[in-house]
Amino acid sequence: MTLDELSTATGGTVIRPGDPDWDAARRFHSGIGEPAAVIRVSSVDDVRGALRYAAAERLEILVRSGGHSAWGTLPGGLTIDISALADVTVDGTRVRVGGGAHWGDVARTLARHGLGISSGDTASVGVGGLTLGGGIGWMVRAWGLAADQLVGAQVVTARGEVVEVSESSHPDLLWALRGGGGNFGVVTRFDFEAHPLDGVVFATLGIDGDVRTALRMVRDVLAAAPRELTVTYMDVPAMDPSAPAGASLTAVWIGTDEQAARTALAPLLDAPGISVRELGVKSYPDVLLEVPEFDPEQPMPGFVGGNTLLHDLDEGTIDALVSFHEQNPASVLFLRSLGGAFGDVAQDATPFPARDATWFAMAGAFDIPGMLDDARRADILAAWDAIEARGAGVYGNFTTSTDRSWVQRMYPPETMARLAAVKREWDPANLFCRNHNVVPA
Ligand SMILES: Cc1cc2nc3c(=O)[nH]c(=O)nc-3n(C[C@H](O)[C@H](O)[C@H](O)COP(=O)(O)OP(=O)(O)OC[C@H]3O[C@@H](n4cnc5c(N)ncnc54)[C@H](O)[C@@H]3O)c2cc1C
């Protein structure tokens, strides 16, 4: 079958190099991809046609949902753009979401029904990539990962079969979809169990005083806080548009009880060196961030660092993280509180690592051309590796590559063995390999 025949045989639109839409079709949040071709599908049958074509032509598959992964720019292969599969339907607390929907669409629909789902923080991020990798968001302590609310899915497999997945139908595949990445087929529909939500209390606090002292205080407050509260600490340079420059704390409290949120945050609200920039009730969709699209005129700098799930935010770890940031002025330090519902989930219930972690940390220096040389890069990576050695696992969705060395750090051996067995059953030829690849075994 040729690409023309693929286009005719499916309702999908095939876009090739030189076509007017080519640049738009291969644009990801992190840059411009270099696939052999892109097919924009609009139905489950289109997905089946695209998979048949890729299998026959021995083309590797890249599934594009929200386009926010750092690996969408890999060269070659067929990109299957499923962003048109974006319906969101609500039936009681059961929410069915098209595999290509964005979290902003989901949050807006759910808000009209007085519901919420633990998602990511950014409106344009895809439900697909975020959920399949786990999904750490502003409700992680209240309701766990996005993947923890996944109760079913419709999957088009490498063989082109359409499979309904749930706790009672192919439970091993459901297990693998809750954090095992895009290894097992194209998920054309995600089924979530949502929670009643009439709004959230949202607070932003500026940190002008000593950041080590502030982090100790934040850690102690969270150790005693109800699970309704999730906080994020960020320290970013002025060049980063994702947050106000400098150190700040963002807090989300599930529900509209502002007094309860104030009580949980009280030691921080009264602390010297910490100032309240914003505190009040918002709708959940209004809390989701909007980030600028990739601008080819201003390519994103590289990122030298990593992430880790921490059992404890102890003194040594606070010092190592803050020192990393101090020694690299053009760097980001991000911390998100865990525990609560995240920790209620049994370790073997999902592939996600380190359920006993109480904090998630990410830090990295921007690799701006002319600013870092190889020796400096190596020093920064060594400093990061020493921090990661304090942790209990790596979160794949916050890595910048799909290099095998990352995959080995993401899943402990027993989880990897279980993922590999599921992979062997559903994708023995490893058609879905352009991700944090689980090799069939
Ligand atoms: C600005 C920004 C903010 C972010 N915020 C958060 C956050 O708050 N919390 C968090 O946990 N992560 C966050 N992330 C990381 C995010 O989870 C990953 O980048 C994720 O891969 C994005 O998913 P996507 O669908 O947008 O990306 P895509 O690049 O479209 O997809 C990523 C991969 O997921 C797989 N995939 C996607 N959809 C499907 C599907 N339907 N079926 C099969 N495979 C599929 C494919 O393997 C694909 O390569 C953020 C990233 C960015 C850039």
Query: What was the pLDDT predicted at 93?
Result: 98
- For residue 23, what pLDDT is reported? 92
Instruction: Give the chain's radius of gyration (CA, Å).
Output: 21
pLDDT reported for residue 253:
98
Residue 26's SS3 state is coil
Q: Ligand 1 center to residue 81 CA distance, Å?
A: 13
User: Tell me: domain 88-197+417-426, CATH 3.30.465.10, correct?
Assistant: yes
Ligand 1 pocket, residue 147 CB under 6 Å: no
The three-class DSSP label of residue 186 is strand
d(CA 282, CA 47): 38
What DSSP state is assigned to residue 122? B
- Which atom of ligand 1 is the closest one to the Cα of 435? 47
| pLDDT, tens only, 312-348 | 999 999 999 999 999 998 899 999 999 999 999 999 9
**b (16+ CB within 10 A) / e for 369-400:** eeebeeeeeeebbebbeebbebbbbbbbbbbb
Contact 246, 275 (CB under 8 A): no
The answer to whether residues 41 and 82 touch, using CB atoms and an 8 Å cutoff, is: yes
Residue 280: per-residue pLDDT: 98
Phi, psi of 305 (to 5 degrees): 165, -145
Domain boundaries, the chain: 3-81, 88-197+417-426, 200-398
- For residue 2, how far is the Cα from the chain centroid? 35
The type of residue at 412 is: P
Ligand 1 pocket member 186 (CB < 6 A)? yes
Q: Is the CB of 63 inside a 6 Å radius of any atom of ligand 1?
A: yes
Q: Using a 6 Å cutoff on CB, does residue 72 contact ligand 1?
A: yes
Least Cα distance to 129 among 177, 193, 195, 79 occurs for 177
Q: pLDDT tens-digit profile of 174-218?
A: 999 999 999 999 999 999 999 999 999 999 999 999 999 999 999
Q: What is the Cα–Cα distance from 121 to 135, expressed in whole angstroms? A: 9
How many angstroms separate the CA atoms of 2 and 37, rounded?
12
pLDDT tens per residue across span 64-84: 999 999 888 888 999 999 999
| Atom from ligand 1 closest to the CA of residue 134 | 11
The span from the CA of 66 to the CA of 83, in Å, is 7
The topology under which CATH files domain 200-398 is Vanillyl-alcohol Oxidase; Chain A, domain 3 (3.40.462)
Contact predicate 342/360, CB 8 Å: no
- Between the CA of 398 and the centroid of ligand 1 the distance, in Å, is 9
135 CB within 6 A, ligand 1 = yes
Q: Give the residue whose CA is nearest to atom 31 of ligand 1.
A: 129
Confidence at residue 372, expressed as pLDDT on a 0 to 100 scale: 87
Q: Is 26 in the pocket of ligand 1 (CB under 6 A)?
A: no
- Residue 283 buriedness (CB in 10 A; 0-12 / 13-18 / 19+): middle
26 CA to middle of ligand 1, Å? 16
Which burial class, exposed, middle or buried, applies to 335 when counting CB atoms under 10 A from its CB (0-12, 13-18, 19+)? buried
Q: Which secondary-structure segment (H or E) carries 164?
A: strand 162-166
**Residue identifier of the C-alpha nearest atom 53 of ligand 1:** 68
Query: Whose structure tokens read 């439970």?
Result: 171
The residue among 355, 381, 313, 402 whose CA lies nearest residue 136 is 355
Report how far ligand 1's centroid is from the alpha carbon of 63 (Å): 10
10-residue mean pLDDT profile of the chain (441 residues): values are 80 92 90 92 96 92 94 90 98 98 97 96 96 97 98 97 98 98 98 98 96 97 98 89 85 98 97 96 94 74 92 97 94 97 98 98 90 92 96 95 90 96 97 95 91
- Residue 86 CA to ligand 1 center (angstroms) comes to 15
Q: What's the whole-model pTM score?
A: 0.97
* Closest-CA residue to 365 (of 250, 249, 244, 239): 239
For residue 407, the 8-state DSSP code is H
Binding site membership of 12 for ligand 1 (Cβ less than 6 Å): no
The answer to whether 394 and 411 have CB atoms below 8 angstroms apart is no
For residue 68 and ligand 1, the question of a CB distance below 6 A is answered with yes
For ligand 1, is residue 69 a contact (CB within 6 Å)? Answer: yes
Residue whose CA is at the smallest distance from ligand 1 atom 6: 120
Name residues whose C-beta falls within 8 Å of residue 196's C-beta, 6 or more positions apart in sequence. 93, 114, 115, 116
- Residue nearest to ligand 1 atom 43, measured at CA: 186
Give the pairing of strands 78-81 and 37-40.
parallel
User: Is residue 396 in contact with ligand 1, taking CB distance under 6 Å?
Assistant: no
Question: Which residues make Cβ contacts (< 8 Å) with residue 171, sequence separation at least 6?
Answer: none
**How much distance in Å is there from the Cα of 174 to the middle of ligand 1?**
18
Domain 3-81 maps to which CATH number in 3.40.50.150, 3.90.76.10, 3.30.43.10, 2.40.110.10?
3.30.43.10
pLDDT at res. 359: 98
Contact 201, 108 (CB under 8 A): no
